[in-house]
Amino acid sequence: MTGTPSAFDILRAAFIACAGIATAPALANDGFYQGSGSTLQMVNNPHLRVREEKLVIYPNDPVACYPVYADGKPVQDGMQHQERPVVTLGPRAKCEDSFRQLYAKWHAVAEYDVEVLQAQDNVQIGFPVAWWNRDYVAADGDLASLEAPGVAAFHTYINGAEIRSLALKTLQSPGASGLRRAAVGYAWKASFAAGQPYRLKTEYDFGADVSNAFYAGSEYAEGETPWFFQVVDAGTFTASRLIYFLTPINSWAPPPPDRISIEVRLPAGIPVTYFVPVYFKPSCVSSGAMHFRIEHRGPARELELSMANRENTRGALRPLTTVAQWNAWQKTLGGPSVKIGCDVIEALMKTAAPDLRARLQAYQCAASCGAQ
């Protein structure tokens, strides 16, 4: 069983079963270092198959903040610590304008309906947690490279029963010598009877990657320039990016899941037209959420969603008003096949220029994205 964080699938919260746990360095660092969700993947275990997955990611409002502790003490300027301190997260606290906290802007709830093809007795399940790094400002610079766990408020359940007394600890990770430091995470054991249905569930808080602007190949796909570049200077506001790794679910027993349903609920304060799905495209978009759906195949891309960072947006974000802007927006969404909710169309009609108004009046909008 190998765990790979999704930033957090992202970075995804999938369960794994096998004799040991190892962390894949590339996905682990890319996932949690970016500040997203987490995932697990199974390796060489053909006995557990995911029949269906339901993932809901929603914003923490207000943001959940968790202080960083080094050797049991809150990180602060000028503090002294041993060469390799034990770094943990404290209980949720008041958010401060500080680099000494994990700002968990998102909460993920992932549920898996699992089919047991062969009985699994007392197998180990793991949820690895990768490290993230901030520029800790200390008087003597001794905290400059400090790394902290990237997941907070972790809970996991099997058939509704919570696995209790889980603590973040060092995991034995054969073959993980390429990691910058020892892997940490949660580990527990469970048994699965053949032919019995199981529902696995994991939920946790995680953060968001922040960039000083929108960049091609990062905050948006090459060749899919966001429409709002036509009306605002994208360098005037920062970008926030949600990253969740989906592809590790492809390592579960075949065939692929019958259905993978994902709902990303959007934070308030930013028009839906200022949210950009990077590579994995939605099936339907409403004013409050983006819906993604895969049937009878595994995901080929990770979930990456960029958005204007409302904390750093200078002035009002101008509305989408023309057909040219509409066409550019549709392209970043994934093309005309992506359904757009009637609530979005109604809002756009209020400011649409005549050419766009005619287009919107003829558009067959989706009454409910949840029915897609």
* Residue 237 covered by a domain: no
Domain count of the chain?
A: 1
pTM for this model (two decimals): 0.83
Q: What is the pLDDT along the chain (372 residues), one digit of tens a residue?
A: 222 233 323 223 333 333 222 222 222 222 211 122 333 333 445 788 889 999 999 999 999 999 988 888 888 766 766 667 788 889 999 998 676 788 888 999 999 999 988 898 877 777 777 677 665 444 444 555 677 888 889 999 999 999 998 888 776 544 443 444 556 777 777 889 998 889 999 899 988 777 888 999 989 999 999 999 998 887 777 888 888 878 777 777 889 999 999 999 999 888 999 999 999 999 999 999 999 999 999 889 889 999 987 666 656 788 999 999 999 999 999 999 999 999 999 999 999 999 999 999 999 999 999 755
* Residue 365 covered by a domain: no
CA distance 315 to 56: 31
* Residue 43 covered by a domain: yes
| Helices 354-362 and 323-333: angle between axes, nearest 10 degrees | 50
> Which residues contact residue 169 at a Cβ distance below 8 angstroms, ignoring those fewer than 6 apart?
184, 185, 186, 187
Q: What backbone phi and psi angles, to 5 degrees, belong to 230?
A: -80, -20
> Which residues contact residue 141 at a Cβ distance below 8 angstroms, ignoring those fewer than 6 apart?
none
* Residue 363 covered by a domain: no
Range of the domain at 192: 2-207
* Residue 316 covered by a domain: no
* Residue 229 covered by a domain: no
* Residue 371 covered by a domain: no
* Residue 281 covered by a domain: no
Spell out the alpha helix ranges (H) of the chain: 25-33, 323-333, 342-349, 354-362
Q: Residues, the chain, total?
A: 372
